[in-house]
Every structure is written in structure tokens, then in C-alpha cells.
Amino acid sequence: MKQKITVLGPGSWGSALAQVLAENGHDVVIWGNNPAQIDEINTYHTNRHYLPNLKLPSSIRGEKDLAIAVKDADAALFVVPTKAMRTVAEQFNRVCQNQPVIIHASKGLEQKTHKRISEILLEEIEEAHRQAVVVLSGPSHAEEVSVHDITKITAASENEQAAKYVQQLFTNEYFRIYTNTDVIGVETGAALKNIIAIGAGALHGLGFGDDAKAAIMTRGLAEISRLGVAMGADPLTFIGLSGVGDLIVTCTSVHSRNWRAGNLLGKGHQLDEVLDNMGMIVEGVATTNAAMELSQQLGVEMPITQAIYQVLYENRDIKTVAKDIMLRDSKVENEFSNLYRK
């Protein structure tokens, strides 16, 4: 059934997801606050700053007025940076006149509050203006989805019917969706893997090999799981698409802006220089700060996150930090094994 979907955020991922929806036969409107970008989408069907080689379907319409964009929408897809999520959600709530399904495809934790994105949306959007909130997350690059590379991700919601609805909206021959009810696990994995990706990129920039990269990914996954479980997640979620899947793709690909930022830091560039030249938000930098505060609040040990925090926020030398983390006290590997003992 053809649906009207409003995409809030015309960045690379928002544009790629809009393309999927349009190709699936849906009525798609993209809203953004950059008038020139919206004009480009409507006139040339391109979004060159974010996806230079993408030609958007001509059926996709750009809209500058949020009230017009969301009018009669069956679903609203939020794909804006974490730091803008609360503001955009509040604006949406003011102008929305119906009750769409709320979907978000962003990854991060809010600064100071440490809240997950679905929590922000539930706080800012009244029940009268939302049916349910669904998280769309997993191993995916806009650059690959836009050229129809095979991609599999997760739609997570406490409302199983809403998750299945999102599954039906997006699924096609190159884009497959699995459903999950563990919203906490899916959002935690999505946010925290960006921290580990910065570390993986830094190791590459320092010249370390595959052994080191495998080590940081596997032990990074242990940290993600540890904090996620403390927040209420199912540990099994972290061996799925939104856990290990997203971690692998983000820690090994040049498409990952978090990996690229870490790689430049490893090569000796300063953080301000890296962020200024990236051209897009590097979510892992802010998430590192939020995760560090959250881990201290919950009493969760996260040595890799702590090391990356020291590099990003305390200006410590990367090589020294890498050495320090190797000389930590010895640990047991399978820390969750007691959960499955009878």
C-alpha cells in the first residue's frame, strides 16, 4: 500500500533512505532547513554535498516548510544529528496535525542527559501526534545503499506491529529489514560503535595491523554489551545486525566518518582540524563524552572508551594511550557466561 513518508533531514543517510522508499512506490517528501539544498533536490534531483554521484528519483519532493512536509504523513522518518533531534522533534510536535508512525535512523546519545534518541522523541512528541516509535539501525552506508548494494538492518520497537510496518515500507531486493523488540540494545549498539570506530581508525593511522583491529572490535563489543546490559538491553542483541554487524562495517570502511576521523588522529592531525575538514557530523566524538559520563554513573568499566576520551578531550598522546591499555590488569573474557548457566 502506497504511504506518504516525510523524511526529516536531507543528509547522506536521509537521502539514501528516501530513495529506497521512493523506489518502493511510496510518496516521499524530504524536509530540510537549508533552502539551497532543498532547491537542488527539486530542480536537479541531486544532493551533491552528501552523495555526489546520486541521482534521486524525480518523485521525491523537497520541502522547506515543516508543516507542509508533515501534513497527512503516514510516517515521519527522523534522520538528523543527535544534537538537533530534540529541537526538530519539538518543532514537529507543534505543527503535526495527525498521528504518524515515528521512525528514526540516527545514532547517538544526547549530551548531559545521556538519553537515547527514542527517549527524546517520546518526550517531545505528544501521544496525539505519534502511533509508535521505531528505531531503524544496522550495518549500512548511504554510499552503498544508494547504488543498491545488499544491505540488512533492524527495525526495533516495543510495538511489534509498528516494527513490521517499517519492515514492509523498506524491504526490497537489495534492502532487507529484520524486526526486534529490544530498543535499548539496538540504540545502544548504534551509538557506541561509533566510539570504537574512532579507535579502530586511530590504530590504522598509527600503522597497526589486523591483529590490533580485531582486538579493538571484539573488546569494544564487550564494552558496548557491558554498558547496554547495565541500561537494560538483552546481551544477545549485540551479536546481531545492530551490534556486531554495525560495529564491523563502521570499524573497517573508509565510508565511515568516525573511522576516517580516527585514522587522521592516528596520523597526527589535531581534532579541531579533523572535524573542520570532515564536512559532516562525526557522532562518535560527542558520544564518547556521553558514554564516559554514563559509564561512571552506572559503574561500568569501559577502558577503550576511556582511552579514546583521553585522546579526544584530554589531549593525551595516542601511542601512549594504546600502550597503557595493553598493560592493564588481566581480565576474564566471557563476562556474561553466568547469565546462561542453569
**Predicted pLDDT at 339:** 54
**Predicted pLDDT at 240:** 96
Q: Report the alpha-carbon distance of residue 158 to residue 184 in Å, rounded.
A: 10
3-state secondary structure of 313: helix
- Co-location of 34 and 13 in the same domain: yes
Answer whether residue 339 is part of any domain: no
Q: In sequence order, what are the beta bridge partners of 179? A: 155
Answer whether residue 92 is part of any domain: yes
**Predicted pLDDT at 336:** 63
**Predicted pLDDT at 142:** 96
Cβ partners under 8 Å of residue 57, min gap 6:
19, 22, 23, 28, 45
**Predicted pLDDT at 263:** 95
> Kind of pairing, strands 75-78 and 151-156?
unpaired
Cβ partners under 8 Å of residue 97, min gap 6:
71
- Co-location of 139 and 222 in the same domain: no
- Number of domains the chain is built from: 2
Q: Report the alpha-carbon distance of residue 177 to residue 175 in Å, rounded.
A: 7
Answer whether residue 152 is part of any domain: yes
- Co-location of 10 and 125 in the same domain: yes
Q: Domain containing 78 — which CATH number? A: 3.40.50.720
Among 151, 226, 136, 221, smallest CA distance to 186 is for 136
- CA atoms within a 13 Å half-sphere pointing along the CA-CB vector of 159: 14
Looking at this protein, which amino acid is placed at residue 193? K
pTM of the shown model:
0.93
Q: Domain containing 218 — which CATH number? A: 1.10.1040.10
Q: pLDDT tens digits, residue range 46-92?
A: 999 999 999 999 999 999 999 999 999 999 999 999 999 999 999 99
Nearest 10 degrees: Cα torsion 180, 69, 90, 160: -20
**Predicted pLDDT at 335:** 67
Last residue of a domain, one of 131, 154, 181: 181
- Co-location of 157 and 8 in the same domain: yes
- Co-location of 222 and 123 in the same domain: no
Q: Report the alpha-carbon distance of residue 162 to residue 69 in Å, rounded.
A: 22
**Predicted pLDDT at 341:** 46
Range of the domain at 306: 191-331
Long-range contacts of 41-49 (CB under 8 A, 24+ apart): 41/10, 47/10, 47/12, 47/15, 49/279
**Predicted pLDDT at 334:** 72
- Co-location of 221 and 296 in the same domain: yes
The answer to whether 193 is a known catalytic residue is yes
List, for the chain, all residue ranges whose pLDDT scores fall below the cut of 70: 335-342
Cell numbers for 128: 496525539
**Predicted pLDDT at 342:** 42
State the residue for C-alpha cell 519532493: 61
Answer whether residue 95 is part of any domain: yes
Catalytic residue among 83, 164, 193, 342: 193
CA 168 to chain centre: 21
Q: Report the alpha-carbon distance of residue 229 to residue 231 in Å, rounded.
A: 5
